[in-house]
Copies of this chain bind each other. A is one copy, B any other.
Amino acid sequence: MRVGVLTGGGDCPGLNAVIRAVVRKGVRQHHFEFVGYRDGWRGPLEGLTMQLGIEQCRGILPRGGTILGSSRTNPFKLDNGVERIKENLAKDGVDALIAIGGEDTLGVATKLADLGVNVVGVPKTIDNDLSGTDFTFGFDTAVNIATEAIDRLHTTAESHHRVLVVEVMGRHAGWIALHAGLAGGANIVLIPEQPFDIREVCDLVESRFESHYAPILVVSEGAVPREGGDMTLSSGELDDFGHVRLGGIGDRIAREIETRTGKEARAVVLGHIQRGGTPTAFDRWLATRFGLQAVDAVADGDFGKMMALRGTAIARVPLIEGTGELKLVSKEEYAEAQVFFG
């Protein structure tokens, strides 16, 4: 049996660990052959392949990025995209495909599965906002990096009278902000799911100063002010998703706090640091087990499924479960953490 493997979407620590596990178990236990498709769906679309065997996977477990490359190419937005993919799979003698990616990549996988392609999905998102699985790999790494940053900032917050705003990843979901805020002992956490009122934020900032500490805020890049509230973003500041552009909301909030409270405020924008570099042990373990289970699913002919963490077990759930709806921070989960705010 010949199995194609591809990775799509943004960077995420653990991609190489999935690939290695798939290949190691596939070759050793199932006697599969593998074809590496380069740059996400562009690979099978344009017939971009690379050799993929145990040798190619040596030493990649601790490495960030993906040896297969990635892209955001969507074959359904291109002329004859699906036909070209089917043709290339046939030409390469590929019987089944393992697609590792987020919402978009798995969305394509879901539709291809409906069209008869033998596909198995492995969920990937550093934002942890995919439904159907307790956690996705990459998330733990991002949270640890953000937490270490907050740890270091406490020194400064304690010894100076300066507000620190840490902007972390999370376009639509506040998981990184919530977990890193809890783990780092932040005083205020702002997430996309709960639009903030800048006056309440400034009140918290000031009350914190009254107890002689400078506050640390953790802000998702997708955090937004409450509509009708006191802070408005001009359309020039917004991108197509209605989020603050380049530089970001962290900086914008810092400036608002300075203006409104008269306290010095500084933004720290972690940006891509959160999605590069070596994965944590948890992410390597999760990614590895996703890979092992995905290649077993192929061996079982159990297609149209994606891997999911349920407790400590890896389950196979219908692809549609992961791609149907985003997993967002609930009001209860946000409220649970609020006892630490202020």
Give A contacts to B, CB under 8 Å.
Answer: 10-11, 13, 21, 24-25, 28-29, 59, 61-66, 69-70, 134-135, 140, 143-149, 151-156, 158-160, 162, 164, 179-180, 182-185, 246-247, 251, 254-255, 258, 266-273, 275-278, 280-282, 284-285, 288-289, 292, 310-312, 336, 339-340
B268 touches A269 (CB 8 A): yes
What 5 A-B pairs are tightest by C-beta distance, nearest first?
Answer: A152-B277, A155-B276, A64-B155, A152-B276, A183-B281
For A277, the chain B residues whose CB sits under 8 A away are 148, 151-152, 154-155
- For the complex, what is the distance from the CA of A160 to the CA of B11, rounded to whole Å? 8
Name A159's contact: one of B11, B155, B159, B268 (CB within 8 Å).
B11
- For the complex, what is the distance from the CA of A247 to the CA of B268, rounded to whole Å? 9
- For the complex, what is the distance from the CA of A205 to the CA of B192, rounded to whole Å? 34
Name A311's contact: one of B65, B159, B310 (CB within 8 Å).
B310
Which residue of chain B is the closest to A160 with respect to CB atoms?
B11
Name A273's contact: one of B268, B311, B312 (CB within 8 Å).
B268
- For the complex, what is the distance from the CA of A179 to the CA of B312, rounded to whole Å? 12
- For the complex, what is the distance from the CA of A59 to the CA of B144, rounded to whole Å? 18
B339 touches A25 (CB 8 A): yes
- For the complex, what is the distance from the CA of A312 to the CA of B69, rounded to whole Å? 32
Which residue of chain B is the closest to A144 with respect to CB atoms?
B281
B267 touches A312 (CB 8 A): no
Q: How many copies of this chain does the complex contain?
A: 4
A266 touches B246 (CB 8 A): yes
- A69 CB to closest chain B CB (Å) equals 6
B272 touches A270 (CB 8 A): no
A268 touches B270 (CB 8 A): yes
Name A284's contact: one of B63, B147, B270 (CB within 8 Å).
B147
For A289, the chain B residues whose CB sits under 8 A away are 336
For A273, the chain B residues whose CB sits under 8 A away are 149, 152-153, 268
- For the complex, what is the distance from the CA of A281 to the CA of B183, rounded to whole Å? 5
- A27 CB to closest chain B CB (Å) equals 9
Given the contacts A24-B339, A64-B152, A159 and B271 also touching, CB distance less than 8 Å: no
B339 touches A183 (CB 8 A): no
Name A254's contact: one of B59, B143, B246, B339 (CB within 8 Å).
B246
A272 touches B282 (CB 8 A): no
For A282, the chain B residues whose CB sits under 8 A away are 140, 143-144, 183, 282
- A313 CB to closest chain B CB (Å) equals 9
Which residue of chain B is the closest to A265 with respect to CB atoms?
B246
Q: A11-B159, A63-B155 are in contact. List 9 more A-B contacts (CB 8 A).
A: A21-B340, A25-B339, A66-B159, A140-B281, A147-B284, A156-B275, A246-B254, A246-B255, A266-B271
For A25, the chain B residues whose CB sits under 8 A away are 339
Name A271's contact: one of B64, B184, B267 (CB within 8 Å).
B267
- A284 CB to closest chain B CB (Å) equals 4
Name A152's contact: one of B66, B145, B285 (CB within 8 Å).
B145
Given the contacts A159-B66, A311-B134, A339-B292, A269 and B267 also touching, CB distance less than 8 Å: yes
- For the complex, what is the distance from the CA of A25 to the CA of B277, rounded to whole Å? 27
- For the complex, what is the distance from the CA of A144 to the CA of B289, rounded to whole Å? 17
B275 touches A247 (CB 8 A): no
- For the complex, what is the distance from the CA of A336 to the CA of B267, rounded to whole Å? 33
